[in-house]
Structure 1
């Protein structure tokens, strides 16, 4: 990227990255966006599209990261958060996979019925390797009335939290 900017200072560059490479600061380990800024003197516009979800009435919204300064465990070292509310079908995404029923009722899960609960489901192997830098397969608002969903068979890590990211329950699960 530095070579491109050096050759053409008006060049437009789009980088689609994951696993925190967009973080502008991440002590003690620098990420790509921080190196880019340091090498070129250009402050890149960074967007995170995996950490925030909502059941907003529109399919797509962009929020300033400063809107989330009070949220626990949510780094605001990007410029914007994207809420992608486009609802793809898991059946369309996992066309060749066999599906089973995933029951979202857990004995140890205690929720406040007046407050929305966020559910994130990760591939178990990816979660074991990357922890919360893994990209969830599914993120949605828990529906206490509809606790069974169709899900690809396999092993997963599931996390229930408040919308401010306070953990309520997490566990490894298998969908048969």
Structure 2
């Protein structure tokens, strides 16, 4: 806090003078200035979302988490507490198997869980049968809309499964809310996501979802415009443009949370898309249900919940319970725990602090460097300058950063399911 007639001067100097380093310093300086307050009145005006926006471009998620946790807000109200909770879960979800994330999700879900085991009757489908039914239902329309919670990585794993089954039914377009509509042409050209493709896209499972879409020869389109009078109408009109340009197109729309609702009461994107196109979409909500079933996937007709007094939103055709594992070893084939000796590690004072391991596809990283999207992020605590990490078979670039943004290791590592090699 700056008292009257007191001044602070901040001087930042780049180690290497490049356009990138200068932009980084400018960003850091602006962030520092935004965190300095003139008095206690100004202190109360700071919001978690402002701090998040200042650091959202930072690829070291440990640093971003630290800033959000330590934002100097005096007695935040319930709205601000909820915002902080969501922002922390969002950034933590990018890190993968992270205890703080899992604990937060358990807290969030504890008050929402309902009993569904006694509802597993005719018309309710599980696991592979559920996916086959989605494919079957998709034949009656040209638009399938699936939603996600932006801080649930396993929603992207389910979306990848839906991509595959819809391909065989003639679906060739993937419209994604989280993809920057000004950057989708770049993605379609190079075939893999970049950090600039969209903020949520940098979560590893989201990146894999888009890579798989390209491998399946989908055309990916962004459609969202957040700063607009009516976001729902804008989204619907942008998706309609795909159909206007290709009247025979079949589209999987991957939306955020409630945009999937097609009922007249809520009037969200799906409602307007149905109105403007005259096409009744197949709508599947995988955000709404938290249940006691241990099955990976359970697909319920929404009508089963309309008479229940549990505040469940039923404005879609189906509700899907998603319990798919978020663990990398359950997702990647031929994954192997490897012991990596950090030959290029820098000296650091406190080895008890966590560090962030980011694993990139080597060919992507060598072209786009820090603009690339990792396939794995993991928290680790090096012991004797050594870490253990699960890697699938392949050629990777690995970066390791600590919470103070010190680079501990950067280099190419090949895992050919034998001894790990450093270059």
**TM-score scaled by length of structure 1:** 0.47
**TM-score scaled by length of structure 2:** 0.21
The higher relative CO (CA closer than 8 Å, separation ≥ 6) is in: 1
Hey, which of these two has a bigger chunk of helix by percent? 2
